């Protein structure tokens, strides 16, 4: 009797969950075989499923009230604003690195914006296509401020904290073999390495330069450490989408390029409304999808209306504004790095929007 009751209750709750959860159009059983664009799915569903890391300072993490925030999250918002006209129409999924590409393949997420490095193997062999790089970083070293180490040339024979069994460790091995130097590795997870380094058990701590900089900047004694100005590997981080979906990839690609173009053209979150009414030149008018001095609106052939970049800009501002609002806050400076605009010595560069 009791068992029957319990069973009924369990069934009831499952059905209830299925019914309520089904309301947001989560089911995609039919969409698997059709070569239909994810763009159409997203518009039909009314919600963008954005795969982020959810635990990386500056890039994606949760505020105390449970809202997602960070550099990667801003791009999710920009895409949602562009496609769905609502920057908040995003369901964020905290994706584990072990299953991120599989989640993309299973269409549990529409776009993966999770500090993912573009590599040939991922592009060719994993069924992933990459949008333009949003953030350039690379492997570097943190050292104690009072040490005499200023570049890899000063590192012969030192102890280095490195995450074991990673590409980080391979890069380090390759570099030291090339230099003909020796070093003592001290392996551990990211957090353990941080502790060991702070406690002085290793002379240097290696990892992504942006990650090192942001973690050190938050320490109470941040001034006791510094990150050297040398990068030993390339880590371009970019949004990923499913292979063979040009309509969707085009939109994401040009949302990213659009935000960069906006910075080059001086369009900001604060002037985008005014400039949409009265654009200062044709380039800005094209970018915002508005007519210039009584002319026609340029339709460039996207599967969304011509004002999609304007909406993204209204929601999150241009590339530089996103950078200042998120990663710059955790001590990842922009000036003088690869992430500066090409006009300022970096390599952030977007093809023309025309």
Binding site for another protein (CB under 8 A): 1-3, 5-10, 12-14, 16-18, 20-24, 26-29, 32, 51, 54-58, 60-66, 91, 93-96, 98-99, 102-103, 106, 108-109, 191, 214-215, 218-220, 329-330
CB of 240 to another protein, least distance (A): 15
Our CB check for another protein shows the closer of 104 and 260 to be 104
Categorise residue 200: left if φ over 0, alpha if ψ from -120 to 50, beta otherwise.
Answer: left
Our CB check for another protein shows the closer of 2 and 157 to be 2
Element (H, E) at 302: none
Our CB check for another protein shows the closer of 9 and 347 to be 9
Strand partners, 51: 93, 112
CB of 44 to another protein, least distance (A): 15
- C-alpha 12/C-alpha 18 separation (Å) is 10
The pair of structure tokens assigned to 181 is 């130097």
CB of 109 to another protein, least distance (A): 8
- List the beta strands (DSSP E) in the chain: 48-52, 61-62, 68-69, 90-94, 111-112, 128-130, 135-137, 139-144, 159-162, 184-187, 204-208, 225-227, 235-237, 240-242
Element (H, E) at 125: helix 120-125
CB of 330 to another protein, least distance (A): 5
Our CB check for another protein shows the closer of 100 and 311 to be 100
Our CB check for another protein shows the closer of 21 and 351 to be 21
CB of 178 to another protein, least distance (A): 33
- C-alpha 184/C-alpha 202 separation (Å) is 9
Give which of 239, 310, 313 is closest to 269, Cα–Cα.
313
- C-alpha 326/C-alpha 71 separation (Å) is 5
Our CB check for another protein shows the closer of 156 and 192 to be 192
CB of 60 to another protein, least distance (A): 8
Our CB check for another protein shows the closer of 194 and 307 to be 194
Categorise residue 345: left if φ over 0, alpha if ψ from -120 to 50, beta otherwise.
Answer: left
Our CB check for another protein shows the closer of 32 and 148 to be 32
Q: Are 289 and 297 in contact (CB under 8 A)?
A: yes
Output the CA–CA distances (angstroms, integers) from residue 92 to 145, 176, 205, 254, in the order listed: 39, 40, 32, 21
CB of 12 to another protein, least distance (A): 4
Rg (CA), the chain: 23
Largest CA distance in the chain: 78
Q: Are 349 and 259 in contact (CB under 8 A)?
A: no
CB of 96 to another protein, least distance (A): 6
Our CB check for another protein shows the closer of 53 and 249 to be 53
CB of 92 to another protein, least distance (A): 9
């Amino acid at each position: 009797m009791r068992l029957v009751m319990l069973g009924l209750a369990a069934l009831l709750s499952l059905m209830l969950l299925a019914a309520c959860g089904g309301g947001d159009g989560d089911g995609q059983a039919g969409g698997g075989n059709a070569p239909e664009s994810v763009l159409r799915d997203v518009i039909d569903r009314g919600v963008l499923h954005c795969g982020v890391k959810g635990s990386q300072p500056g890039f994606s993490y949760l505020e105390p009230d449970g809202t997602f925030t960070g550099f990667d999250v801003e791009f999710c918002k920009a895409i949602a604003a562009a496609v769905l006209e609502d920057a908040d129409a995003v369901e964020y999924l905290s994706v584990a690195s072990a299953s991120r590409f599989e989640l993309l393949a299973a269409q549990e997420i529409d776009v993966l914006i999770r500090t993912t490095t573009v590599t040939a193997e991922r592009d060719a062999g994993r069924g992933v296509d990459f949008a333009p790089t949003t953030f350039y970083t690379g492997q570097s070293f943190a050292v104690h401020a009072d040490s005499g180490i200023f570049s890899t040339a000063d590192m012969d024979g030192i102890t280095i904290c490195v995450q074991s069994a990673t590409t980080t460790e391979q890069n380090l091995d390759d570099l030291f073999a090339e230099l003909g130097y020796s070093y003592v590795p001290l392996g551990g997870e990211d957090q353990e390495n941080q502790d060991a380094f702070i406690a002085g058990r290793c002379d240097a701590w290696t990892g992504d330069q942006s990650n090192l900089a942001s973690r050190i900047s938050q320490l109470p004694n941040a001034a006791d450490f510094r990150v050297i100005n040398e990068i030993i590997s390339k880590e371009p981080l970019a949004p990923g989408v499913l292979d063979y979906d040009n309509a969707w990839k085009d939109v994401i690609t040009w949302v990213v390029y659009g935000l960069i173009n906006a910075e080059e053209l001086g369009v900001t979150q604060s002037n985008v409304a005014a400039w949409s009414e009265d654009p200062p030149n044709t380039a800005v008018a094209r970018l915002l999808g508005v007519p210039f001095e009584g002319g026609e609106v340029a339709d460039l052939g996207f599967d969304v209306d011509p004002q999609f970049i304007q909406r993204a800009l209204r929601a999150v501002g241009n590339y530089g504004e996103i950078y200042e609002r998120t990663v710059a806050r955790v001590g990842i400076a922009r000036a003088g790095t690869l992430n500066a605009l090409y006009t300022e010595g970096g390599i952030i560069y977007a093809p023309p929007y025309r």
